[in-house]
């Protein structure tokens, strides 16, 4: 693992992977969007089911991104690896955007279906907590004069906050909520009709690849910025 | 199905279209911001390396 976590190796490998990743992501996003509008309306939700093709993948990405953030934070705390630090730092804004998107699109679906923009339902509240965890992580990262202390404090918050991920996943089973129980990732297989499931899964893969593409771009940018700071410091700060 | 019927989204247009619009805007801005930051960093590094080469020469 350490061999692949080398920043120079990451730059070389990501340079090869990035164009392919971008092409596949774009194609899948286009395919997912087309299928989202070709899919038949749901027999109960009608055309509003199309919001689910954005809302559900955004919700999955919100949790996946936080899991990545916690894993990268653990690696950074244990091995003090700069690439893990950068991965965690660059994952947080992406995760925050996906979580925000999940909350907003959920609200837009909730008003016509449940008759309310917001309810303090266990699933919605735990996702809101996830959003605040992302914001807290980013705030903590920049809250100290010493960046090392900021990174360490933020990494600890990320690890402690990880307890919220299983709470989000199982909130619909543990508490009586407005949300229906799991209908895709469940024992016994999905309960959704294939005409709805296919666009949903394609959008989910597209969102995952979009997250991966943007994470690689941002990590490359962060590594270059670190190199600039090192060169600048070596030159006595003369180049700003 | 006519275009106007499709746009109306069975009466849910005011919920469906904003959901897609906000998603496109949020993810689009995130992508543009990330690419812009990456290109800016690349340009700054190139300028820095060129300056160093000039100093060495």
Burial class (CB in 10 A: 0-12, 13-18, 19+), A205: middle
Angle CA A44–A48–A51, to nearest 5: 130
Residues 6+ apart with CB under 8 A from A131: A62, A96, A99, A100, A103
What does chain B come to in residues? Answer: 57
Percent of chain A with pLDDT over 90: 73
Q: What is the pLDDT of residue A207?
A: 98
Q: Which of B12, B37, B41 faces A228 most closely, judged by CB atoms?
A: B41
Judged by CB atoms closer than 8 Å, whether chains meet at A97 and B12 is answered as no
| Structure confidence at residue A4 (pLDDT) | 65
Q: What are the distances in angstroms from CA B30 to CA A106, A141, A142, A234, B21?
A: 20, 20, 20, 32, 14
Contact B53, B45 (CB under 8 A): no
- pLDDT single digits (tens) A64-87: 999 999 999 999 999 988 899 999
Q: How confident is the model at residue A238 (pLDDT cuts 50, 70, 90)?
A: low
* A62 in Cβ contact with A54 (< 8 Å): no
d(CA A46, CA B13): 11
pLDDT band at A240 (very low <50, low <70, confident <90, very high): very low
Q: Which residue of B has its CA nearest to A109?
A: B15
In tens, the pLDDT along A3-28 reads 667 888 999 999 999 999 999 999 99
> pLDDT tens for residues A30-55?
999 999 999 988 888 899 999 999 99
Q: What's the mean pLDDT in A55-61?
A: 96
Flag if B26 and A224 touch (Cβ within 8 Å): no
- Over residues A132-157, the pLDDT tens digits come to 999 999 999 999 989 889 999 999 99
Which whole number is the average pLDDT over A121-136? Answer: 96
Residue of B nearest to A232 (CA): B48
Q: Which pLDDT does position A175 carry in this prediction?
A: 86
- What gap in Å lies between CA B6 and CA A53, rounded to an integer? 17
Report residue A22 CA to chain centroid gap: 17
Q: Tell me the domain boundaries of chain A.
A: 50-180+192-234
The alpha carbon of residue A122 is apart from the nearest alpha carbon of chain B, in Å, by 22
pLDDT (tens digit per residue) in A200-226 = 999 999 999 999 999 999 999 999 999
CA A19 to chain centre: 21
Helix axes A52-79, A7-38, angle to 10 degrees: 170
Residue numbers in B near A100 (CB within 8 A): 26
How close does chain B come to A187, measured CA to CA in Å?
30
Q: Least CB-CB distance to B19: which of A41, A93, A108?
A: A108
Of B12, B26, B41, the CB nearest to A46: B12
């Amino acid at each position: 693992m350490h061999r692949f976590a080398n920043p120079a190796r990451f730059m070389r490998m990501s340079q090869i992977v990035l164009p392919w990743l971008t092409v596949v992501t774009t194609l899948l996003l286009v395919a997912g969007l087309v299928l989202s509008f070709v899919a038949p309306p749901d027999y109960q939700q009608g055309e509003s089911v199309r919001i689910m093709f954005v809302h559900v993948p955004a919700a999955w990405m919100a949790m996946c991104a936080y899991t990545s953030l916690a894993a990268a934070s653990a690696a950074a705390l244990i091995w003090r690896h700069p690439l893990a630090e950068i991965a965690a730092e660059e994952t947080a804004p992406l995760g925050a955007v996906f979580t925000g998107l999940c909350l907003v699109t959920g609200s837009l679906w909730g008003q016509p279906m449940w008759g309310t923009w917001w309810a303090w339902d266990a699933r919605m509240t735990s996702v809101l907590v996830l959003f605040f965890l992302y914001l807290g992580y980013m705030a903590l990262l920049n809250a100290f004069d010493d960046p090392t202390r900021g990174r360490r404090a933020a990494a600890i918050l990320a690890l402690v906050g990880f307890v919220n991920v299983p709470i989000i996943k199982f909130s619909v089973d543990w508490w009586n909520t407005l949300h229906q129980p799991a209908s895709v990732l469940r024992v016994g297989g999905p309960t959704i009709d294939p005409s709805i499931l296919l666009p949903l899964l394609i959008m989910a893969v597209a969102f995952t690849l979009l997250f991966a593409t943007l994470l690689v771009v941002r990590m490359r940018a962060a590594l270059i910025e670190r190199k600039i700071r090192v060169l600048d410091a070596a030159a006595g700060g003369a180049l700003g | 199905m006519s275009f106007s019927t499709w746009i109306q989204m069975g009466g849910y247009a005011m919920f469906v279209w904003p959901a897609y619009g906000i998603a496109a805007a949020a993810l689009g801005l995130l992508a543009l911001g990330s690419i812009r930051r990456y290109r800016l960093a690349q340009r700054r590094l190139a300028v820095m390396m060129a300056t160093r080469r000039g100093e060495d020469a």
